[in-house]
Amino acid sequence: MRSIPATILIALFLSPAHLLADTDPSAQANSAVQWSGFGTAGQTPWTIIVLLTVLTLLPALLLSMTPFVRLLIVFHFLRQALGTQTTPTNQTLIGLSLILTFFLMQPVGVAIQRQAVLPLQQGKIDAFQAVARGSEPVKQFMLHYARQKDLALFLELAHEPRPKRPEQLPMRVVAPSYVLSELKAGFQIGAVLFLPFLVIDMVVASITTSVGMMQLPPVVISTPLKLLLFVMVDGWNLLVGSLMRSFA
């Protein structure tokens, strides 16, 4: 998924070089001043710093506009509910979330490839038009899972008029609304995951207290029982299957 936005960004950065190559020296000087962003060619290093900063933040922005947020939150809640503080490791959970995110976002990536990348490579559109076209499938995906309450909140905060159709909402309203909706969905699923394991903890704690085993922490007994229950019901298959169906 990251190769598609990278292609568009590379085209954005390389397009001025092709334009300058086809013009005379005076036009090249004027273009250099325009692309500096500050009116003088001496400020070009600041432009490079800004572009590098945007590229640094780009992965976080892309992950926030995908199912990665919900998946990672649910997996962390599961680990806390099982009582295993470091198993699976953070790297394992992040890797699993990335793989599932790639699986879910593949249709969106195919749409971006067809609507934006291929016309850009064929020279039918420029880089800016490719970015605009490529953002439409992502916006459609986010609108499908963003709650109307969150959309209304950020539409009010942005002081934007209410559009006739959701597709007319700007990206600066859709993106934070989607992140907020995904956070709520992740916490809801995590709370449901905690319930069966919480029952086991309460039962074990009441039994150990009633028999006078005050020196034995209940977690020593409850953790193997929770792991045994999770393995017996094939918990990973059930959890991942439910999460993937929630994005169907």
For every one of its 248 residues, what pLDDT tens digit does the chain have, with 9 covering 90 and above?
Answer: 344 444 444 343 334 433 333 444 444 444 444 443 444 445 567 777 777 776 787 777 777 888 998 999 999 998 888 888 788 888 999 999 989 999 998 888 888 888 888 888 888 877 778 878 888 888 888 988 888 898 888 888 888 888 888 888 888 888 889 999 999 998 999 888 888 888 888 888 888 777 777 677 777 777 888 888 888 888 889 889 888 888 87
Question: How much is the pLDDT for 30?
Answer: 45
User: Which of 165, 117, 118 minimizes the C-alpha distance to 140?
Assistant: 165
Distances in whole angstroms, Cα of residue 218 to Cα of each of 85, 92, 224: 16, 28, 11
> How many angstroms separate the CA atoms of 29 and 92, rounded?
51
- Name the CA dihedral angle for 66, 67, 73, 78, rounded to a multiple of 10 degrees: -160
Q: Cβ neighbours of residue 226 under 8 Å, at least 6 residues apart?
A: 81, 82, 83, 197, 200, 201
CB 100 within 8 A of CB 244: yes
Task: Give me the pLDDT at residue 39, please.
Answer: 44
Are the CB atoms for 172 and 64 separated by under 8 Å? no
Q: What is the Cα Rg of the chain in Å?
A: 25
Q: DSSP letter at 170?
A: -
Instruction: Please report the pLDDT score of residue 246 as a whole number.
Output: 84
pLDDT score at 124: 81
What is the per-residue pLDDT for 43?
Answer: 54
Give the three-state DSSP class for 241. Answer: helix
In the prediction, which pLDDT does 13 show? 38
Burial class of residue 49 in the structure, from the number of CB atoms within 10 Å of its CB (0-12 exposed, 13-18 middle, 19+ buried): exposed
